[in-house]
Structure 1
Amino acid sequence: MTGMSVGGERVLALLPELLLLLGAVGGLLLGLWTPQHRQWRVRLLVTAACLASAIAAAVALSEPAERVFEGTWVIDTTTGVVRIVVALGVAVLVWLASASLAGHPRETEAYVLMLLGGLGSIALAASGDLLLLVAGYLLASVPLYALAGFAKDSAGVEATMKYYLMGAFVGVLMLVGVAALVLAAGTTSYFDLAAQLPDASPALLAVGILGVLAGVAFKAGAVPVHFWVPDVTAGTTPPMAAYLTTIPKIGAVAAAFRLLAEPFADVPLDVPLLVAVIAAASMTLGNLAAFNQTDVLRLLAYSTVSQVGYLFMVVAVAARTDLAVPALAIYLAGYAVTNIGAFAAVAAVPAARTINDWATAVGRHRWLVVGLVVCLLGLVGTPPTAVFVGKLAVFTAAWDGALAWLVVVAAINTVASLFYYLRWIAPAFAGVPAAPSMQEGAGRGPRTAAGTAQRTRRGVPTGLLHGAAVMSLLLGLGSGWWLAFALST
């Protein structure tokens, strides 16, 4: 990719990010001059920016890896995959949110915040410097605080406060970690840290690594900084819950992967073991907490916590095996598609907040159940879905990276997760409640942003649910052939 140079750096190397930024600025300006009932124009502009960004990122995937702006921004396969998944994910989520945001006086601002949050997620993944990592953390956090409480009701305000306070606390821990690493090595560059940290003070190393990992673990929703996930997911609207549990998680996992592969690769502390323990705790506690959930959003929230555990498996072996990068790429793409599809099922019936309510509400819409089954079984890792191929790749990479015990734990958790997904699937298939609907969340009615039309459109979420189900199958089949070819060569 050739382009202009500013201070010796090629500006167009960041074309995908520039397109997202231009989409955010352009969307905000267009919204200022667009009547409230025609805010769909902004939606189209934002979607076009996301698609253009994804295309530019796909083109750049074929080029050699490089570091731009004095090595602070890394452009490689990991960054390229995150660019594509985030851009396409934001485009889909903008349309999913439109079903409940249409007519809102701040509809434009919501779409712009979603773009900026996506840009922050990409910055996390592309960071080659601790200071850029902190900036990415902030950009992937502040817009999301506003999105969490966009409904402006009591549940949304409570969700926003919990999210903000937890984010501020972990942000301070992250800054302490960055300061400790700077004291230990005298630099913030990943490249220089990789050379300096092996000889640094073990005490400073421990504080620095724990602080920085706490920051990325918070954005990923990993144990032990996962407490915000169920409350925020259940407190906001289903489309925003889908955004909060998908977009920042992708960038955070990629950021953790790069930290383990570069600056923390040769430190005297056993960082891979620490990440492996976090992975085991996340998948186990996430699954255990999901067993007794009756609120569908809280069930999916704990499901996302468990999914972080599987994603962190490949993070733990980032510097130990060549299979780590393709495994991460497949799982990130598969998780994004399937998770968005599961939340689209909830958004299609916004008034049904419990498992039994949802099963009753879709009695005359059986195709919703089919789409839900594909997405939920996809999250389990059932063939031939994308997450199945992703889990197979992750398990293979973890085994190759000498973490056989973690593979066993993950396999047990995969089987265990099937039971709480079946608790949702079985009543939906039967079409009648399995028990009287007395659970938390019953009768709340649809959650929409304040100032929005009371009736939400079911067509868009339903279409996205079925599209995600089909894409999960196609991506699983396609990536399965690609993975088989890669392993054979």
Structure 2
Amino acid sequence: MPIGDLAPELSVLLTAVAVLLAAMALPQRLHGWCAVVAIAGLAVAAGFTVAQWDAARMTFSGTFALDRATGWARLLILAMTAGVAALSPAWFATDRRHGEYCAVLLFSALGALAMAGAADLMQLVMGVLLSSVPGYVLAAYHRDWEISLEAGMKYFLVGALANALLVTGVILVMGMAGSTDYAALILVGLLFKLGAVPAHAWMPDVAEGAPVPSAAFLTIVPKIAAAVALFRVVSLVPEETFPLRLLVAIAAAATMTLGNLAALWQTDLRRLLGWSSVSQSGYALMAVAVAGAAETALQALVAFVGVYALANLLAFAVIAHLRGRTALEDVAGLLRARPVAAIALTLALLSFVGIPPLPGFLGKFALFEATLDGGLSWLAMLAVANTVVSLFYYLRVIGPAALSKPKDAMGTLGRASFTVILVALLAMAVSVPVWGGLWNGLPATLLPM
């Protein structure tokens, strides 16, 4: 059990403890430094991840996989968590629990890291629970706001049921096989973390009611970890033994269709993004459904989840920058009032659709290609139809933002949120010309378990 193999996870753990202790000692006016410490700790963890980039082995008695898939998931989780942490100081400036928020954020990210590299059922359960429990706190952090409490309660109830089913499945596997190695799994637990049907109901409520940094985190980070973990599970189950890939394909079809149809007439931007996040989970499941059947399935999954995470962080950074104004009429005239924010929001939404030459197009193209190669042409055609449908509700946001006049002055959160917007825009711009190199560096296979 070489401790160094878990250096990124240990860095996040120690940083979370340091942030918690600092929040206890520092006065409220200095709690913003907790976010700085959190980002520094995440950078250290990213450095350890890069140092282990060429690792390809099972570690800790075969319970944790050190491979390229784990490496990419680690980097995405750490980067997105850092972006969310950067949004928190201004958003929680008047909250006496601001410092503790950063600690809870890091604990939830630690659970996602554990889930992404899990190669054993008990390790997976630990990761899911460690990611979920702090997530309930993040969702309901505005405890004086009824909508936030409702979001946290719904997230908790759906999570409690999904996690109970997951643990029940683990117990059954242990009883039948006498081992916790991957052999079969109840899908609901991981579908809950993805925000996919049938455990999707929490996603739009959390996107609407949680603090904006929490909403950004909970609609991105657990999805990254769950996508990789679910891919590991599906790739190990022989199709002739159990039609797990077919179940995932059906879940993908239901998730993307329900998410897009529910988003059509939403009047709140955050809730619209919540339902959009559900639909994006459906697209991600397309790659999982062809695990083992298409050579580029894993590459397509990591590429799509990466570009989705970047666009989603950008969209929520714009919402945070506008101080949480989320009614569609509130963003009318945004181009005239806040041109950079309007351009950023437009590019994020168009990337969700997959409009070229945005990175979202490259991610979706990879998904469709892998799905066709895997023999699921009906699922690819359904995804194309859903993509066309999604353009309608994104244009309901883009049109008024670009063509209408602002009703009143639009205040902003300050430099921190604007910086996150600029960094995310730069990352989107850079990702397109270097896509070929990124694609070649993505994992194509998993370690045998």
| Structure 2: distance between partners of 1:115 and 1:236 | 17
Any residues of structure 2 matched to 1:296-307 within 5 Å, and which? Answer: 296-307=269-280
Match of residue 113, structure 1, among 77, 96, 104: 104
- What do residues 302-340 of structure 1 show as CA deviations (whole Å, max 9, x unaligned)? 110000011111111122232122212211211111101
Corresponding residue for residue 201 of structure 1:
none
Shift of 1:142: 0.5
Any residues of structure 2 matched to 1:66-85 within 5 Å, and which? Answer: 66-85=57-76
Corresponding residue for residue 133 of structure 1:
124
| Structure 1: distance between partners of 2:383 and 2:421 | 27
Q: 1:245 to 1:363 in 2, by over 3 A?
A: same
Match of residue 6, structure 2, among 11, 14, 32: 14
Contact persistence 2:255–2:279 (CA under 8 A): yes
Structure 1 residue 383 corresponds to structure 2 residue 356: yes
Shift of 1:398: 1.4
Following TM superposition, where does structure 1 have runs of at least 4 consecutive aligned residues deviating by more than 3 angstroms?
360-363, 480-486
| Structure 2: distance between partners of 1:360 and 1:456 | 15
Contact persistence 2:258–2:279 (CA under 8 A): yes
Q: 1:368 to 1:164 in 2, by over 3 A?
A: same
Shift of 1:485: 9.9
**What residue identity is the alignment partner of 2:146?**
S
Match of residue 269, structure 1, among 242, 258, 263: 242
Contact persistence 2:239–2:245 (CA under 8 A): no
- What do residues 22-67 of structure 1 show as CA deviations (whole Å, max 9, x unaligned)? 111111122222221111222111101111111221221223x111
| Structure 1: distance between partners of 2:50 and 2:370 | 25
Corresponding residue for residue 209 of structure 2:
235
Shift of 1:72: 0.6
| Structure 1: distance between partners of 2:392 and 2:421 | 22
Contact persistence 2:335–2:343 (CA under 8 A): no
| Structure 1: distance between partners of 2:357 and 2:72 | 21
Shift of 1:431: 2.8
| Structure 2: distance between partners of 1:103 and 1:356 | 27
Structure 1 residue 144 corresponds to structure 2 residue 144: no
Match of residue 460, structure 1, among 416, 421, 428: 416
| Structure 2: distance between partners of 1:351 and 1:116 | 25
Corresponding residue for residue 259 of structure 1:
233
Any residues of structure 2 matched to 1:17-36 within 5 Å, and which? Answer: 17-36=9-28
Shift of 1:134: 0.9
Shift of 1:20: 0.7
**What residue identity is the alignment partner of 2:107?**
L
Shift of 1:347: 1.3
- What do residues 368-419 of structure 1 show as CA deviations (whole Å, max 9, x unaligned)? 1111111111111122222221111111111111112111111111122111
Question: Partner of 1:292: helix, strand, or coil?
Answer: coil
Question: Partner of 2:61: helix, strand, or coil?
Answer: coil
- What do residues 84-121 of structure 1 show as CA deviations (whole Å, max 9, x unaligned)? 00011111100112221124211111001111111111
Any residues of structure 2 matched to 1:257-406 within 5 Å, and which? Answer: 257-262=231-236, 264-266=237-239, 268-360=241-333, 363-406=336-379
| Structure 2: distance between partners of 1:338 and 1:79 | 21
Corresponding residue for residue 432 of structure 2:
476
Contact persistence 2:54–2:67 (CA under 8 A): no
Match of residue 188, structure 1, among 149, 167, 180: 180
Structure 1 residue 92 corresponds to structure 2 residue 46: no
Moved more, 174-183 or 358-367: 358-367
Shift of 1:280: 1.0
Contact persistence 1:124–1:252 (CA under 8 A): yes
Corresponding residue for residue 431 of structure 1:
404
**What residue identity is the alignment partner of 1:413?**
N
Corresponding residue for residue 205 of structure 1:
none
Tell me how large the CA RMSD over aligned residues is.
2.1
Shift of 1:484: 7.8
**What residue identity is the alignment partner of 1:409?**
L
| Structure 1: distance between partners of 2:369 and 2:176 | 35
| Structure 2: distance between partners of 1:91 and 1:106 | 19
Q: How many matched pairs?
A: 441
Contact persistence 1:99–1:456 (CA under 8 A): no
Q: 1:176 to 1:415 in 2, by over 3 A?
A: same
| Structure 2: distance between partners of 1:389 and 1:102 | 38
Question: Partner of 2:332: helix, strand, or coil?
Answer: helix
Shift of 1:19: 0.9
Shift of 1:267: 5.5
Shift of 1:360: 4.2
Question: Partner of 2:337: helix, strand, or coil?
Answer: coil
| Structure 1: distance between partners of 2:228 and 2:238 | 15
**What residue identity is the alignment partner of 2:6?**
L
**What residue identity is the alignment partner of 1:412?**
A
Contact persistence 1:356–1:432 (CA under 8 A): no
Corresponding residue for residue 54 of structure 2:
62
Corresponding residue for residue 224 of structure 2:
250
Instruction: Report the structure number with the largest CA radius of gyration.
Output: 1
| Structure 2: distance between partners of 1:40 and 1:267 | 55
Shift of 1:161: 1.1
- What do residues 263-289 of structure 1 show as CA deviations (whole Å, max 9, x unaligned)? x24561211111011111111111111
Using the aligned pairs only, state the percent identity: 38
| Structure 1: distance between partners of 2:352 and 2:418 | 18
Q: 1:47 to 1:485 in 2, by over 3 A?
A: closer
- What do residues 154-175 of structure 1 show as CA deviations (whole Å, max 9, x unaligned)? 1111111111111111111111
**What residue identity is the alignment partner of 1:181?**
V
Structure 1 residue 53 corresponds to structure 2 residue 45: yes
Contact persistence 1:386–1:476 (CA under 8 A): yes
| Structure 2: distance between partners of 1:96 and 1:337 | 15
**What residue identity is the alignment partner of 2:325?**
A
TM-score, length-scaled by structure 1:
0.86
**Unaligned runs of at least 5 residues, structure 2:** 443-449
Corresponding residue for residue 446 of structure 2:
none
- What do residues 200-221 of structure 1 show as CA deviations (whole Å, max 9, x unaligned)? xxxxxxxx64xx2100000110
TM-score, length-scaled by structure 2:
0.93
